[in-house]
Amino acid sequence: MEIILKQDVENLGFKDDTVTVKNGFGRNFLIPQGLAILATTSAKKVLAETLKQRAFKEEKLISDANVIADAIKELEIKITAKTGDGSKLFGSVSNADVAEALAAAGQVVDKKFIKVEGGTIKRLGKYNTSIRLHRAVIVELQIEIIAEAK
């Protein structure tokens, strides 16, 4: 089944992408949830016209995202966390904590656009994260988890 996505869908595609999915996934989940529409010939023509009009705006969004990406690359993010014996953390550090640290540094990014290597961090050290600012702009950022002073 060929569908056109109306929103970004994790592990499937971005808004306005035409993708092929299994019939049940499209019919029972994507279309009823309002995440996609059936890719008929008329829907494809409307999508092509919409994409043509959006091309200029897209260039500006990408350039703005690149400016933010350059600013984020310059940051050194250090997150303090409580530790137990050795380097184990009490709890964990997730993408929400990284989003808070970025906001404190002046760059507001929604936590759903941040992926922490391994999902959650449970030990001290340096870790890589990827931040998606636009479908064409993804920034790799290294964060460091340090022990909170006792």
Q: What CATH number should be reported for the domain holding residue 29?
A: 3.40.5.10
Residue 83 lies in a domain: yes
pLDDT at 84: 81
Q: Encode the chain (150 residues) as per-residue pLDDT tens digits.
A: 999 999 888 889 888 889 999 999 999 999 999 999 999 999 999 999 888 888 888 888 888 888 888 888 888 888 888 888 777 888 888 888 889 988 888 888 888 888 988 888 888 889 889 998 888 888 998 888 888 876
Q: What CATH number should be reported for the domain holding residue 124?
A: 3.10.430.100
The β-bridge relationship of strands 125-134 and 114-116 is: antiparallel
Report d(CA 127, CA 118) in Å as an integer: 9
Amino acid at 108: V
Are both 78 and 56 inside the same structural domain?
A: no
Residue 65 lies in a domain: no
pLDDT at 119: 82
Domain that holds residue 74: 70-147
Beta strands, E only, the chain: 2-5, 18-20, 36-38, 77-81, 88-93, 114-116, 121-123, 125-134, 137-147
pLDDT at 10: 84
